[in-house]
Amino acid sequence: MTTAEIIAVGSELLLGGRVDTNSLFLSESLAEHGIEVRFKSVVGDDVEDIGVAVTNAVRRARLVLITGGLGPTVDDVTREAVACVTGKPLRLRPRALESITRRLHSAGRAVTANQRRQAFLPTGARLLHNTAGIAPGFAVEWKRCRIACLPGVSHEARRMCAESLLPVLRRAGLLSSAIETRTIQTFGLLEGEINDRIAGLLPASGAFRLGLLASPLGVSVSLTRSKTVQRMQARKRSVTQASTSLDALMGAVMTELGPDVVSIDGQTMEEVVGHRLHDRGLTIALAESCTGGLIAHRLTRVAGSSAYVDRGVVCYDNRAKTELLGVSEPLLKKYGAVSAQVAKAMAQGVRKRSHVDVGLSVTGIAGPSGGTGHKPVGLVYVGLATSKGASTAAFRFHGERDAITLRASQAALDVLRRWLCHGCPRPPSGSGIGPDGGSKDL
Amino acid sequence: MTTAEIIAVGSELLLGGRVDTNSLFLSESLAEHGIEVRFKSVVGDDVEDIGVAVTNAVRRARLVLITGGLGPTVDDVTREAVACVTGKPLRLRPRALESITRRLHSAGRAVTANQRRQAFLPTGARLLHNTAGIAPGFAVEWKRCRIACLPGVSHEARRMCAESLLPVLRRAGLLSSAIETRTIQTFGLLEGEINDRIAGLLPASGAFRLGLLASPLGVSVSLTRSKTVQRMQARKRSVTQASTSLDALMGAVMTELGPDVVSIDGQTMEEVVGHRLHDRGLTIALAESCTGGLIAHRLTRVAGSSAYVDRGVVCYDNRAKTELLGVSEPLLKKYGAVSAQVAKAMAQGVRKRSHVDVGLSVTGIAGPSGGTGHKPVGLVYVGLATSKGASTAAFRFHGERDAITLRASQAALDVLRRWLCHGCPRPPSGSGIGPDGGSKDL
């Protein structure tokens, strides 16, 4: 199995405030082609530091992917660093300059001296075309390792990886079948609870690796066939049998976790509920207080959501709750805006006023201020109104404002999911109520 | 100057789908105390791989921070890896077990065998208390380097860093004054345009490093006093003079960039407009179509926003535009939902119906489908209604659905910002209209 390392270049990635996201999709693309990423590193815009990172990586991996530092500005030094380490001096590549010139001309711009620098590549490098931007990428061979440099701009790197890099790696015979891994997204159980419930399902042979990862969006369970076993089985040509057993294990785990399973293999909560709404031909309207539009935003992120999302109302103000949703002033006065009664009235109100099938509401205290002994920060009520009536669920979340709103949005969507998929909006058992236990946060 | 490296442990960080965010605030905290992070790396839950990463880091840095892999599950192996590399075997630390037991008891739970594993620390390690969760952290000295292990859970790591780790480092004399860096967030200019306009302002001495970084939220400009100069000046004790000149440079850059400057030193767009609305005692209501609640969500993320955000309306459906905002059906029919006329009517409608000072609206085509030759994917109209009348701005964004909505939300908030801060909602010159040029995306 080919192993790879990813180096993200950029001082901004070290100083904080900005995170390297390119390595996410690169890791995924590589895994789909059987290449395992074993190390990722981040270095600043410094020729020497990049050189050290490349030298270390080349020692361990057959493939080193570098992203960033290919731009036109003075702090873009990846080309220099690779030239320096590999001893392959930079030379002007006419084909690279041509494509830079063409792209700038088509936008009515001329090539500046800085932009011209981008066409200087290490001698003998293979040019990787940038069909989404200006900076060309390249790949060089050095010490039995392939070093490929992609732009830091995400959509450019993505396109270059698919269109130019993967074909190059395929021709070099570095790609193979995917690493077998499956993931199950859950909501409503703590990491430790899941561990206790499914640890016994894994064969003692160590043929599978279990990974648990908690976040405000729930715990994700990953099952990966161990590399050693994968290699052994490939030799014995009993891949089918082994693959069956990963599916069988998945089945057993999903049965054990039951309705707390949100999705498999990466579908998000909003995609799950969106597809279900779409399939059942149901429309929805949202009434959000403390989540401030986050649920509407998450639902409408899914392409095609205009078919089932009718509208959303963000009613931070009590007057807005009355005017837009018809929540009565005496009710607000009697129970307060953060109450099961108001959550229910909001869901019913938005459903009735927008003539949709489902009304979903959230009201709560996101903090940092506004909490009381009786109604602490993190207290959230979710309301669900359908043709069958209305129900509410109470949650208590911990963390900062952002974490509380994110958890609240996920809990509300989960109430909807349980109703759509299992006919029951019962809130999950361990959902944020009680201590954080052994769970991990984002 | 002390240099540090950060190692994030977790196979999920390598497989894709999940990004290491802890290193962001760790880098920031360290920079505030004069410690420069020169490398960051990510390794899987593998004793051997963690060992290699630690060994490499110890060679280069005085401080190595490891996050993650301290939990109770079988894939948490950071303790073992550090014990192995440093030759300091794991021993049960009664004080660590006590605090684990106390925390679990207070939540009405017993200590399981797995949770007990978390109390085994390398011999001679200094215990770092976890006041926000269960897993204890620790710090060991090895080969003149300090290795500190923090939990992967973000808020636990944050708390442990502030409460336990920084005091330990301070006592060890590793902290000094902050690395001098300032950032300016802009919106409306391309990276190349900014480079051309301000490159000439930097002194030729190389005393400052300029960093430019583009994202859908605009281009961020960072100015850092170079380490060499900083060290020289520290010796000459002329820090004040140097600090003045960083401020003077900041002033010159800000003057040059004018109203395209959104904020300095990390304030977000929503914080800038939120504070300005608050200071001026203005209230706002939002009418969102293609941004689907993202603007409302961003504005309400700011603590205290309930004082000025009255409500938000997500009207995906034309009927909702008519019912909730009073946009006339003939207008929708004549110009289409995505038009300057409808954007204006939406802003006026939401302002009037909610009796607020400012109405802000967005309508556009987020894609991937729904575009036509005349109205392509990425076409977005922003409307702003105030007591002085209403205006609109048109934008054309590129990228995928998520990027288009994010850019649209930023452009709308920027229209509002220009009106609040400069009395003019004129859309920025290069804002997404035309080619992406030399700009970089997130």
**Residue A399 near chain B (CB below 8 Å):** yes
Judge whether A183 and A218 are in contact, CB under 8 Å: no
Query: By three-state DSSP, how is residue A389 classified?
Result: strand
Q: Which of A138, A160, A166 is nearest to A31 (CA)?
A: A166
Contacts of B116 in chain A (CB under 8 A): none
Helix (H) or strand (E) holding A396: strand A389-396
Last residue of a domain, one of B127, B144, B171: B171
pLDDT at A232 over 60: no
Q: Which residue of B has its CA nearest to A367?
A: B303
Residues B79 and B131 reside in one and the same domain? yes
Contact A154 B442 (CB under 8 A): yes
Residues A247 and A276 reside in one and the same domain? no
pLDDT at B442 over 50: no
Query: Quick one: pLDDT at residue A75?
Result: 83
Assign residue B69 a region (left: φ > 0; alpha: ψ between -120 and 50; beta: otherwise).
left
Is residue B435 situated within a structural domain?
no
**Residue B318 near chain A (CB below 8 Å):** no
Interface residue of A317, A324, A369, A406 to substitute, partner B, most B CBs within 10 Å: A317
Contacts of B353 in chain A (CB under 8 A): 323
Nearest to A300 among B19, B293, B303 (CB): B293
Domain that holds residue A416: 269-422
**Residue A349 near chain B (CB below 8 Å):** no
Cβ burial A398-413 (10 Å sphere, 16+ → b, else e): bbbbebbbbbbbbbbb
Nearest to A316 among B49, B220, B309 (CB): B309
Nearest to A37 among B14, B286, B320 (CB): B14
pLDDT at A109 over 70: yes
Contacts of A60 in chain B (CB under 8 A): 52
**Residue A76 near chain B (CB below 8 Å):** no
Is residue B133 situated within a structural domain?
yes
Concatenated DSSP letters of A305-370? GGGTEEEEEEE-SHHHHHHHH---HHHHHHH-SSSHHHHHHHHHHHHHHHT-SEEEEEEE--SSS-
pLDDT at A426 over 70: no
Contacts of A12 in chain B (CB under 8 A): 211, 213, 220, 222
Nearest to B313 among A52, A73, A313 (CB): A313
β-partners of residue A37 are: A4
Q: Which residue of B has its CA nearest to A206?
A: B74
CA gyration radius for chain B? 26
Region A116-125 average pLDDT: 95
Nearest to A12 among B43, B213, B306 (CB): B213
Q: Which of B170, B180, B241, B144 is nearest to B36 (CA)?
A: B180
User: Parallel, antiparallel, or unpaired for β B218-225 and B208-215?
Assistant: antiparallel
Distances (CA, A) of A99 to A66, A71, A127, A157, A281: 21, 15, 11, 16, 48
Contact B75 A442 (CB under 8 A): no
pLDDT interval class at B68 (50, 70, 90) = very high
Residues A205 and A280 reside in one and the same domain? no
Contact B72 A313 (CB under 8 A): no
CA pair distance B394, B399, nearest whole angstrom = 17
Per the prediction, chain A carries an average pLDDT of 87
Query: Quick one: pLDDT at residue B383?
Result: 97
- Pick the residue with more confidence: A214 or A40? A40
Query: Which percentage of chain A shows pLDDT scores above 90?
Result: 57
Could you tell me the sign of the dihedral formed by the alpha carbons of B82, B88, B94, B95, in that order? negative
β strands within A170-281, DSSP E: 181-186, 208-215, 218-225, 261-264
Q: How many angstroms separate the CA of residue A391 from the nearest CA in chain B?
A: 24
pLDDT at A140 over 70: yes
Residues B192 and B325 reside in one and the same domain? no
Residues B32 and B148 reside in one and the same domain? yes
CA gyration radius for chain A? 26
Judge whether A327 and A353 are in contact, CB under 8 Å: no
Last residue of a domain, one of A234, A264, A294: A264
CATH classification at residue B186: 3.30.70.2860
Is residue A112 situated within a structural domain?
yes
Distances (CA, A) of B204 to A80, B200, B207, B257: 22, 9, 8, 20
CA pair distance A76, A82, nearest whole angstrom = 12
Is residue A441 situated within a structural domain?
no
**Position of tokens 């990004």?**
B19
Query: What ipTM is given for this predicted complex?
Result: 0.72
Contact B222 A12 (CB under 8 A): yes
User: Parallel, antiparallel, or unpaired for β A120-122 and A126-128?
Assistant: unpaired
Chain segment A238-267, per-residue pLDDT in tens = 444 444 588 899 999 999 999 999 999 778
Residues B325 and B372 reside in one and the same domain? yes
pTM: 0.75
CATH classification at residue A329: 3.90.950.20
pLDDT at B364 over 70: yes
Contact A313 B324 (CB under 8 A): yes
Number of domains into which chain B is organized: 3
**Residue A13 near chain B (CB below 8 Å):** yes
Contact B323 A354 (CB under 8 A): yes
Q: Going by C-beta distance under 8 Å and a sequence separation of 6 or more, which residues neighbour residue A399?
A: A216, A378, A407, A441, B155
Interface residue of B109, B111, B314 to substitute, partner A, most A CBs within 10 Å: B314
Nearest to B293 among A44, A293, A399 (CB): A293
Is residue A434 situated within a structural domain?
no
Q: Which of B415, B383, B386, B426 is nearest to B283 (CA)?
A: B386
Contact A154 B296 (CB under 8 A): no
Chain segment A7-63, per-residue pLDDT in tens = 999 887 886 556 777 888 898 889 888 888 989 999 988 999 999 999 999 998 999
Q: Pseudo-torsion of CA B347, A405, B16, A16, nearest 10°?
A: 80
CA pair distance A184, A223, nearest whole angstrom = 8
**Residue B32 near chain A (CB below 8 Å):** no
Query: Quick one: pLDDT at residue B177?
Result: 75
3-state secondary structure chain B: CCEEEEEEECCHHHHCCCCCCHHHHHHHHHHHCCCEEEEEEEECCCHHHHHHHHHHHHHHCCEEEEECCCCCCCCCCHHHHHHHHHCCCEEECHHHHHHHHHHHHHCCCCCCHHHHHCCEEECCCEEECCCCCCCCEEEEEECCEEEEEECCCHHHHHHHHHHHHHHHHHHCCCCCCCCCEEEEEECCCCHHHHHHHHHHHCCCCCCEEEEEEEECCEEEEEEEECHHHHHHHHHHCCHHHHHHHHHHHHHHHHHHHHHHEEEECCCCHHHHHHHHHHHHCCCEEEEECCCCCHHHHHHHHCCCHHHCEEEEEEECCHHHHHHHHCCCHHHHHHHCCCCHHHHHHHHHHHHHHHCCCEEEEEEECCCCCCCCCCCCCCEEEEEEEECCEEEEEEEECCCCHHHHHHHHHHHHHHHHHHHHHHCCCCCCCCCCCCCCCCCCCC
Is residue B294 situated within a structural domain?
yes
**Residue A354 near chain B (CB below 8 Å):** yes
Contact A311 B313 (CB under 8 A): yes
Contacts of B19 in chain A (CB under 8 A): 19-21, 23-24
Contact B309 A286 (CB under 8 A): no
User: Parallel, antiparallel, or unpaired for β A284-288 and A261-264?
Assistant: unpaired
Contact B27 A16 (CB under 8 A): yes
Per the prediction, chain B carries an average pLDDT of 87
Query: Quick one: pLDDT at residue A17?
Result: 57
Q: Which two tokens stand for residue A305?
A: 């959501």
Q: Could you say which DSSP state residue A179 is in? A: P
**Residue B305 near chain A (CB below 8 Å):** yes
pLDDT interval class at B65 (50, 70, 90) = very high
**Residue B110 near chain A (CB below 8 Å):** no
Residues B55 and B151 reside in one and the same domain? yes
Residues A13 and A149 reside in one and the same domain? yes
Nearest to B16 among A24, A45, A402 (CB): A24
Q: What are phi and psi of B26, to 5 degrees?
A: -65, -45
Residues A13 and A160 reside in one and the same domain? yes
Q: How many angstroms separate the CA of residue A241 from the nearest CA in chain B?
A: 24
Q: How many angstroms separate the CA of residue B13 from the nearest CA in chain A?
A: 8
Residues B308 and B322 reside in one and the same domain? yes
189-208 of B, contacting A, C-beta below 8 A? 191-192, 195
Residues A324 and A297 reside in one and the same domain? yes
B6, with CB counted inside 10 A (0-12, 13-18, 19+), is buried
Chain segment B215-251, per-residue pLDDT in tens = 788 888 988 876 554 554 555 544 444 445 888 999 9
Judge whether A296 and B292 are in contact, CB under 8 Å: yes
pLDDT interval class at A237 (50, 70, 90) = very low
Assign residue B423 a region (left: φ > 0; alpha: ψ between -120 and 50; beta: otherwise).
left
pLDDT at B4 over 70: yes
Nearest to A15 among B27, B45, B367 (CB): B27
246-275 of A, contacting B, C-beta below 8 A? 266
Judge whether A62 and A174 are in contact, CB under 8 Å: yes
Region B83-105 average pLDDT: 93
**Residue B27 near chain A (CB below 8 Å):** yes
Chain segment B250-303, per-residue pLDDT in tens = 999 999 999 999 999 778 999 999 999 999 999 999 999 999 999 999 999 898
Last residue of a domain, one of B171, B199, B231: B171
**Residue B213 near chain A (CB below 8 Å):** yes
Is residue A86 situated within a structural domain?
yes
Is residue B439 situated within a structural domain?
no
Contact A310 B317 (CB under 8 A): yes
Query: Quick one: pLDDT at residue B440?
Result: 28
Contact B11 A211 (CB under 8 A): yes
**Residue A438 near chain B (CB below 8 Å):** yes
Q: Which two tokens stand for residue B355?
A: 């009796």
Residues B192 and B275 reside in one and the same domain? no
Helix (H) or strand (E) holding A36: strand A36-43
**Residue B322 near chain A (CB below 8 Å):** no
Highest mean pLDDT among A351-360, A395-404, B233-242: A351-360
Query: Quick one: pLDDT at residue A434?
Result: 31
Region B325-337 average pLDDT: 96
pLDDT at B345 over 90: yes
